[in-house]
């Protein structure tokens, strides 16, 4: 069995091992999601042949050379292509994507523009990403908050490796030395881990809870209402008291906050809560629970090249932020799309998915999906991490070099190699 780095989610576990056997995959340390990720190496449905189709035909297998040539032809003919995805790929792939978008005068966007939701408007992209590490949280955080995220289902080893169970420098007894709070609008699996299981009112809960908490920690408490954000006042006060007594607070927030209608109010409020706690010498950090193994790296690559985190429009010089890629799709602003390592047709709202179906799609993927089914060209690739080298940036912004355990079947190219083929044909230097 070989040491490897799992790219199954943004925790990017680097303490795991796996081996491809004749019958499947054996693994050590991988969670269920990670094991499923590695099992896709041997999956019967794995894409191994390049495919092409026109609107009226069923997709046919074609040699890779033809797929590269046709894909390059679509992109060079396009007046305004969209290049999207990237977060499931090493940063080197995003860097090539940015070069390609520049030459094509297209729009480069990543899943981050969708994942981060309102963070963009509020200039809060990434919270403290890059300034603190998960190891620091493991060593020092004695008050952990999960807000609008259910890591027991989405990031399986987050709690066991970093936040809830492990002992750390100032956390001698692991779980017993920490207080854990989970806030959500419904009962979740992660609440089993929590001392504070707080089910908030779906409409006013987050905002009211944060506003009252802010008043409380600023030291100007009035008479608390009977309920705060749907939570009985006694439970709210217990949370508020303990968070103010903590030595180090780590708040992880997810889609429940990022994609709520109230995000434009609650995200700045959360940021204020952290600021006030810090001022009161209660160190408090916040991190968004992004989904993919390189959701952070795609933002880094884009910022390094253009100073814009995502949705970069290269149609002007210097490039500028594109207002809304999804709105652009709905209003037919794009006439082709290159999709790398993502399945937007099954993930995005129906009007956007329908708009994507109207333009030629070139998709790089390892497994069939709704997006590959609708694509004019499908180019199968190696599986990030298990079959490729490169670097990804896990959820706290730490760089993690990948350690492949095997070569891809049928000599499949990596995404990097496919993009090199396209960039060479399109004359990108």
- What's the rounded Cα separation, in Å, for the pair 166 and 283? 20
Choice between 156 and 178, CB closer to ligand SF4: 156
Measuring CA to CA, which residue among 207, 240, 248 is closest to residue 221? 240
Of the candidates 8, 106, 205, 360, which one interacts with ligand SF4 according to CB under 6 A?
8
- What's the rounded Cα separation, in Å, for the pair 338 and 344? 11
- What's the rounded Cα separation, in Å, for the pair 116 and 206? 17
Minimum distance from residue 33 beta carbon to ligand SF4 (Å) = 4
Sole residue written with tokens 């099954």:
346
Choice between 134 and 277, CB closer to ligand SF4: 134
Q: Would you state the structure tokens that stand for residue 392, as one six-digit string?
A: 């990804």
Binding mask 200-229 for ligand SF4 (x = CB under 6 A): ------------------------------
Minimum distance from residue 88 beta carbon to ligand SF4 (Å) = 12
Tell me the pairing of strands 179-184 and 196-199.
parallel
Minimum distance from residue 10 beta carbon to ligand SF4 (Å) = 7
Minimum distance from residue 7 beta carbon to ligand SF4 (Å) = 7
How wide is the angle at C-alpha 84 spanned by C-alphas 78 and 88, nearest 5°? 145
Q: Which residues ranging from 118 to 157 are in contact with ligand SF4 (CB under 6 A)? A: 155-157
Of the candidates 18, 20, 30, 98, which one interacts with ligand SF4 according to CB under 6 A?
30
Choice between 198 and 400, CB closer to ligand SF4: 400
Q: In Å, how far are 69, 231, 343 from 226, measured between CA atoms?
A: 67, 8, 45
Of the candidates 17, 33, 233, 237, which one interacts with ligand SF4 according to CB under 6 A?
33
Q: Concatenated DSSP letters for 256-309?
A: HHHTSTTHHHHHHHHHHHHHHHHHTT--EEEEE---STTHHHHHHHHHHHHS-S
Minimum distance from residue 6 beta carbon to ligand SF4 (Å) = 3
Helix pair 91-104, 295-306: axis angle to 10 deg: 40
Minimum distance from residue 257 beta carbon to ligand SF4 (Å) = 21
Minimum distance from residue 398 beta carbon to ligand SF4 (Å) = 13
Q: Would you state the structure tokens that stand for residue 259, as one six-digit string?
A: 């994609």
Minimum distance from residue 38 beta carbon to ligand SF4 (Å) = 9
Number of residues that bind ligand SF4 (CB under 6 A): 14
Q: Is 383 in the site for ligand SF4 (CB under 6 A)?
A: no
Minimum distance from residue 154 beta carbon to ligand SF4 (Å) = 9
Of the candidates 4, 18, 25, 34, which one interacts with ligand SF4 according to CB under 6 A?
34
Q: Is 300 in the site for ligand SF4 (CB under 6 A)?
A: no
**Residues in Cβ contact with 255 at an 8 Å cutoff, skipping those fewer than 6 apart:** 117, 148, 149
Burial of 143 (0-12, 13-18, 19+ CB in 10 A): buried
CB atoms within 10 A of CB 2: 12
Helix (H/G/I), strand (E/B), else coil: 137: helix
Helix pair 91-104, 415-425: axis angle to 10 deg: 20
Among the listed ranges 2-10, 184-192, 201-209, 260-268, the one in contact with ligand SF4 (CB under 6 A) is 2-10
Q: Is 196 in the site for ligand SF4 (CB under 6 A)?
A: no
- What's the rounded Cα separation, in Å, for the pair 263 and 312? 23
Minimum distance from residue 97 beta carbon to ligand SF4 (Å) = 23
Choice between 71 and 287, CB closer to ligand SF4: 287
- What's the rounded Cα separation, in Å, for the pair 297 and 318? 22
Of the candidates 9, 84, 345, 356, which one interacts with ligand SF4 according to CB under 6 A?
9
Q: Which residues ranging from 329 to 348 are in contact with ligand SF4 (CB under 6 A)? A: none
Choice between 156 and 282, CB closer to ligand SF4: 156
Binding site for ligand SF4 (CB under 6 A): 6, 8-9, 11-13, 16, 30-31, 33-34, 155-157
């Amino acid at each position: 069995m070989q040491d490897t780095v799992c790219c199954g989610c943004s925790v990017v576990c680097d303490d795991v091992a796996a081996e491809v056997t004749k019958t499947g995959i054996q693994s050590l340390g991988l969670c269920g999601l990670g094991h499923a990720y590695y099992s896709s190496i041997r999956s019967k449905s794995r894409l191994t042949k390049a495919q092409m189709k026109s609107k009226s035909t069923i997709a046919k297998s074609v040699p890779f050379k033809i797929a590269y040539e046709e894909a390059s032809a679509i992109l060079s003919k396009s007046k305004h292509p969209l290049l999207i995805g990237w977060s499931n790929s090493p940063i080197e792939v995003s860097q090539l994507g940015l070069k390609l978008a520049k030459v094509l005068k297209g729009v480069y966007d990543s899943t981050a523009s969708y994942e981060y939701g309102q963070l963009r408007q509020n200039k809060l992209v990434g919270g403290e990403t890059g300034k603190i590490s998960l190891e620091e949280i493991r060593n020092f955080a004695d008050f952990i908050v999960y807000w609008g995220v259910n890591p027991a289902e989405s990031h399986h080893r987050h709690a066991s490796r970093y936040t809830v169970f492990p002992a750390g420098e100032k956390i001698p007894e692991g779980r017993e030395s920490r207080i854990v709070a989970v806030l959500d609008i419904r009962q979740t699996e992660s609440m089993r881990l929590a001392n504070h299981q707080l089910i908030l009112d779906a409409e006013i809960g987050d905002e009211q809870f944060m506003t009252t908490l802010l008043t409380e920690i600023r030291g100007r408490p009035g008479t608390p209402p009977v309920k705060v954000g749907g939570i009985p006042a006694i439970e709210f006060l217990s949370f508020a008291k303990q968070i103010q007594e903590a030595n180090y607070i780590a708040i992880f927030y997810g889609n429940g906050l990022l994609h709520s209608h109230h995000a434009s109010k609650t995200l700045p409020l959360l940021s204020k809560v952290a600021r006030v706690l810090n001022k009161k010498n209660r160190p408090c950090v916040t991190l968004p629970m992004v989904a993919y193994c390189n959701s952070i790296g795609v933002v880094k690559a884009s910022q390094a090249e253009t100073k814009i985190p995502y949705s970069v429009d290269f149609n002007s010089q210097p490039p500028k932020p594109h207002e809304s890629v999804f709105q652009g799709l709905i209003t037919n602003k794009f006439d082709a799309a290159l999709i790398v390592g993502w399945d937007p047709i099954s993930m995005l709202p129906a009007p956007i998915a329908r708009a994507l179906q109207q333009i030629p799609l070139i998709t790089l993927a390892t497994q069939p999906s709704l997006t590959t089914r609708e694509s004019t060209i499908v180019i199968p690739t190696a599986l990030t991490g298990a079959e490729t080298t490169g670097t990804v940036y896990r959820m706290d912004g730490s760089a993690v070099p990948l350690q492949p355990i095997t070569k891809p079947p049928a000599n499949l190219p990596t995404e990097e190699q496919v993009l090199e083929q396209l960039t060479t044909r399109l004359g990108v230097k």
